[in-house]
């Protein structure tokens, strides 16, 4: 009898957990959070940023790039303190609203030329462009196949992440 009660409690917890997990995934109520226009992903700083898919990328053809346009839709300044990438095969450049470019930024601990410190302020309504540069040949033949990478901008409001994926071919 004791085992039956424990089994019922476990099943109840699983059902409640699935309910909450599914509820969080559909919280957008069908609202489009960002749009793709040309080669730029546009998103609000208060909304999730969709991952960008480069599709097939040839090692022989060299680097590929994508711009993420991020709008500060809050009512206060946001200071970007740091920028970094999840892998040495990726660099990031920031283009500020005044036209100034900052970077490149990369993976912490890889490459002495990479600084993580940014100190850029984005005022309400302003847009910054985050250019992601992916080198498909950085890992050599071992890097062939599906990849996923992340760029993270840190601010006082928490991290802002942009993801991309590709299928690296020879």
**23, containing H or E segment:** helix 2-25
Residue 94 belongs to some domain of the structure: yes
Indicate whether 19 belongs to any domain: no
Q: What is the CATH number of the domain that holds 159?
A: 2.60.40.10
**pLDDT (0 to 100) of residue 73:** 87
- SS3 labels along 62-83: CCEEEEEEEECCCCCCEEEEEE
Domain range for 118 is 34-169
CB contact at 8 A, 108 and 150: no
Torsion of CA 120, 121, 126, 132, to 10 degrees: 20
Distance of CA 78 to the CA centre of its chain: 17
* Residue 116 is assigned to a structural domain of this protein: yes
pLDDT in tens, the chain (170 residues): 777 666 565 665 556 454 444 333 332 222 223 333 345 666 566 667 889 999 999 999 999 999 999 998 888 898 999 999 999 999 999 999 999 999 999 998 766 555 677 889 999 999 999 999 999 999 999 999 999 999 999 988 788 899 999 999 99
Residue 23 domain-assigned (yes or no): no
Report yes or no on 103 lying in a domain.
Answer: yes
pLDDT score of 110: 67
Q: Is residue 113 part of a domain?
A: yes
Asked whether residue 128 is domain-assigned, the answer is: yes
Quote the pLDDT of residue 157.
Answer: 79
88 part of a folded domain: yes
Give the count of domains, the chain: 1
């Amino acid at each position: 009898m004791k085992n039956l009660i424990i089994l019922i409690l476990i099943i109840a917890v699983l059902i409640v957990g699935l309910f909450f997990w599914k509820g969080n995934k559909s919280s957008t109520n069908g609202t489009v959070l960002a749009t793709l226009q040309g080669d730029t992903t546009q998103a609000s700083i208060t909304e999730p940023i969709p991952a960008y898919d480069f599709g097939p990328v040839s090692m022989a053809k060299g680097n590929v790039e994508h711009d993420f346009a991020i709008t500060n839709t809050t009512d206060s300044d946001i200071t970007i303190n740091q920028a970094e990438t999840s892998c040495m095969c990726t660099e990031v450049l920031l283009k500020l609203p005044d036209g100034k470019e900052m970077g490149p930024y990369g993976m912490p601990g890889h490459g002495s030329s990479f600084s993580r410190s940014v100190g850029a302020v984005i005022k309400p309504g302003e847009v910054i462009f985050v250019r992601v540069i992916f080198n498909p040949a950085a890992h050599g033949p071992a890097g062939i196949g599906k990849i996923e990478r992340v760029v993270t901008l840190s601010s006082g409001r928490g991290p802002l992440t942009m993801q991309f994926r590709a299928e690296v071919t020879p």
